[in-house]
Structure 1
């Protein structure tokens, strides 16, 4: 397979009651990936310390970011990162930005914008700050630096249905492109929003809670009125058919049990296949 899967079973960026299930979710997906094309990042078992940053479990999250970056540096094919919580995407986006010389747009498909800072986050969970860190703002050692950060004008947020006040302020101030669940049903609207960023390459992040809870049981933050699985897969295929894919990530799978994980995996693997099709295009 022309994609390489980087599995990052990080759970420390979540404060959900099911937080640790994110590690189980990443491992469940890993079980259906080709072993020869899979790299696993060693995530420390300890929760980690805040260290005065305002980010809960900061010390472990920072270590995971560093280890993920090291793993990505060994990948020659299209890297597809499998979380864990959304924190798994941070190093992956940084890697894609560096690889494209910063000529990168990020399509962030998520029920939540993830645009808080340590100062504004109601929970201190890094999962709610990841996209802001990608834009270059946040705790030291987590926010992307000047050479790899992605400007707000190159962020496209899709399917968000729960906003905090600071996230709304940031979106309004910077004119971040925001697409509703209804917008996502029209791939041409998503492609147009990405084209409007002026970037030649795209990174696609999917937090599985962008899906309606009826489509997937293993969600730590289920939000009603999400996109259905068939529409999401079609959308991803349309995006990767139009743009070179510089990287991708899937996060937010938190199954309640191994049996429940098996019930959800067929849906997730269809999404994996849609993202992997970009790698096949790259190799042909």
Structure 2
């Protein structure tokens, strides 16, 4: 299916000192996307309230999920989300599970067709906290747990669209909180090292082991080594290199139908710095979009 780029300049899921720069990062990437195949979600400007959920800015995050779901329902093609923070992936995974079949050709109303999706989560962090285990209250660190069906009401996916832990594959993880480690160990979640990401056959084998026939790929740009990208709100040393990451993404989308993708975590310090980082980011975008030509609108 052709690709449609959905820009979600959400920053409210981050508690980094550079949180608001995630919106600037999304806008910078948008400037190099084909306008005819790009949709922008109008993210509210307000920070939002926690409302006793344990999730900072919960009210706005809930609203962005609703707005993103609405935008996705009106686009054709395979959605490639451009964040913003990692929360951009939430509605997109829900959408992919709900509409996809094993072939990715037509939407299916049969729940039996909806269990064929694996999520490849490429990130320096597993994002598997809940409001109870999170040391920060940032939804950025809870997104994948919400995709697995656990978390604050209205943000966690329901039983018909959640992705079970057996179909999660984490790659490039370098910082794990205690609650996340407990979840990973309890459910035997597949975790691949940075070194593993340099060998696409290892990643493809892990995805095949899930039994899935389609894949959703999430790339938090902090999976990259910070020496290759300046605009990171959570830089972590010893990440994967851009060449290796691009080769991996091309191999994955050549092996599996791409049900959707998300790119997040770009928070440039200034427009000038953003320009310096864009060639690397656009290589990542291009590798994911190589699964299909851009859609026309």
**For the superposition of Structure 1 and Structure 2, which TM-score range results when normalised by the shorter chain?**
over 0.9
Q: 1:262 to 1:281 in 2, by over 3 A?
A: closer
Q: In the alignment, what sits opposite 1:245? A: 258
Q: CA deviation at 1:65?
A: 0.4
Q: In the alignment, what sits opposite 1:236? A: 249
Q: Is 1:216 aligned to 2:229, yes or no?
A: yes
What is the CA–CA distance in structure 1 between the aligned matches of 2:88 and 2:284, rounded to whole Å? Answer: 17
What is the CA–CA distance in structure 1 between the aligned matches of 2:171 and 2:124, rounded to whole Å? Answer: 8
What is the CA–CA distance in structure 2 between the aligned matches of 1:113 and 1:282, rounded to whole Å? Answer: 31
Q: CA deviation at 1:281?
A: 11
Q: In the alignment, what sits opposite 1:194? A: 207
Q: Is 1:12 aligned to 2:25, yes or no?
A: no
For 1:33-112, list aligned pairs within 5 A.
33-100=33-100, 101-112=114-125
Q: Is 1:227 aligned to 2:240, yes or no?
A: yes
Q: CA deviation at 1:74?
A: 1.1
What is the CA–CA distance in structure 2 between the aligned matches of 1:24 and 1:163, rounded to whole Å? Answer: 27
Q: CA deviation at 1:99?
A: 1.7
Q: 1:14 to 1:281 in 2, by over 3 A?
A: closer
Runs of 4 or more off by more than 4 Å in structure 1? Answer: none
Q: 1:281 to 1:45 in 2, by over 3 A?
A: closer
CA contact (8 A) 2:6 2:41 kept: yes
What is the CA–CA distance in structure 1 between the aligned matches of 2:193 and 2:22, rounded to whole Å? Answer: 26
For 1:106-255, list aligned pairs within 5 A.
106-255=119-268
TM-score by length of 1: 0.98
What is the CA–CA distance in structure 2 between the aligned matches of 1:42 and 1:282, rounded to whole Å? Answer: 21
Q: 1:282 to 1:201 in 2, by over 3 A?
A: farther
CA contact (8 A) 2:9 2:22 kept: yes
TM-score by length of 2: 0.94
What is the CA–CA distance in structure 2 between the aligned matches of 1:124 and 1:24, rounded to whole Å? Answer: 23
What is the CA–CA distance in structure 1 between the aligned matches of 2:126 and 2:77, rounded to whole Å? Answer: 29
Q: CA deviation at 1:3?
A: 1.0
CA contact (8 A) 2:13 2:56 kept: yes
Q: In the alignment, what sits opposite 2:104? A: none
Q: CA deviation at 1:121?
A: 0.3
Q: 1:177-201, CA deviations, whole angstroms, 9 ceiling, x for partnerless residues? A: 0000001010000000000000110
What is the CA–CA distance in structure 1 between the aligned matches of 2:158 and 2:131, rounded to whole Å? Answer: 17
Q: In the alignment, what sits opposite 1:270? A: 283
What is the CA–CA distance in structure 2 between the aligned matches of 1:97 and 1:260, rounded to whole Å? Answer: 36
RMSD over equivalenced CA pairs, Å = 1.4
What is the CA–CA distance in structure 2 between the aligned matches of 1:96 and 1:217, rounded to whole Å? Answer: 31
Structure 1: gaps (5+ residues)? none
